[in-house]
Copies of this chain bind each other. A is one copy, B any other.
Amino acid sequence: MKPVTLKEIAEKLNISVTTVSKALKDYSDVSPKTKALVKELAATLNYTPNSFAVHLRTKESKTIGLVIPEVVHHFFSNVIKGIISEAEKEGYLVIILQSNESYELEKKQIELLMSHRVDGILISLANGTADFKHLNAVIEQDKPLVMFDKIAKLVKCSKIIIDDQKAAYIATQHLIDTGCKRIAHFRGPLLPQNSIDRFLGYKKALLDNGMEYDPNLVYLNDCDENSFDDGKMNAAKLYKEHNDVDGIFINTDMVAIGAISEFNRLGVKIPEEISIVGFSNWFMSSVISPTITTIDQPGYAMGQTAFKQLYKEIKAHKNNVAISPEIIQLETALVKRESTKN
Query: Which residues of A come within 8 Å of B, CB atoms?
Result: 1, 3, 48-53, 55-56, 61, 63, 71-74, 77-78, 80-81, 84-85, 88, 93-98, 111-112, 114-117, 141-142, 228, 257-258, 261, 264, 283-284, 287-289
Cα(A142)–Cα(B2), bound, Å: 8
A-B contact pairs, 15 of them (CB 8 A): A1-B141, A51-B115, A52-B61, A56-B56, A71-B84, A72-B81, A85-B98, A93-B95, A94-B95, A96-B96, A228-B283, A228-B287, A284-B284, A288-B288, A288-B289
**Are B288's CB and A117's CB within 8 A?**
no
| Copies of this subunit | 2
Taking A81-B72, A84-B96 as contacts, is the C-beta distance between A52 and B49 under 8 angstroms? no
Q: What is the minimal beta-carbon distance from A92 to any residue of chain B, in angstroms? A: 10
**Are A51's CB and B284's CB within 8 A?**
no
**Are A49's CB and B115's CB within 8 A?**
yes
**Are B77's CB and A71's CB within 8 A?**
yes
Cα(A287)–Cα(B80), bound, Å: 25
Cα(A95)–Cα(B93), bound, Å: 7
A78 partner, pick from B56, B72, B258, beta carbons under 8 A: B72
Chain B residues, CB < 8 A from A288: 287-289
Q: What is the minimal beta-carbon distance from A61 to any residue of chain B, in angstroms? A: 7
A52 partner, pick from B71, B117, B228, B283, beta carbons under 8 A: B117
**Are B287's CB and A257's CB within 8 A?**
yes
Cβ-closest chain B residue relative to A227: B283
A84 partner, pick from B74, B97, B111, beta carbons under 8 A: B97
Chain B residues, CB < 8 A from A116: 51, 63, 93
**Are B1's CB and A142's CB within 8 A?**
yes
**Are B96's CB and A94's CB within 8 A?**
yes
Cα(A95)–Cα(B88), bound, Å: 12
**Are A141's CB and B3's CB within 8 A?**
yes
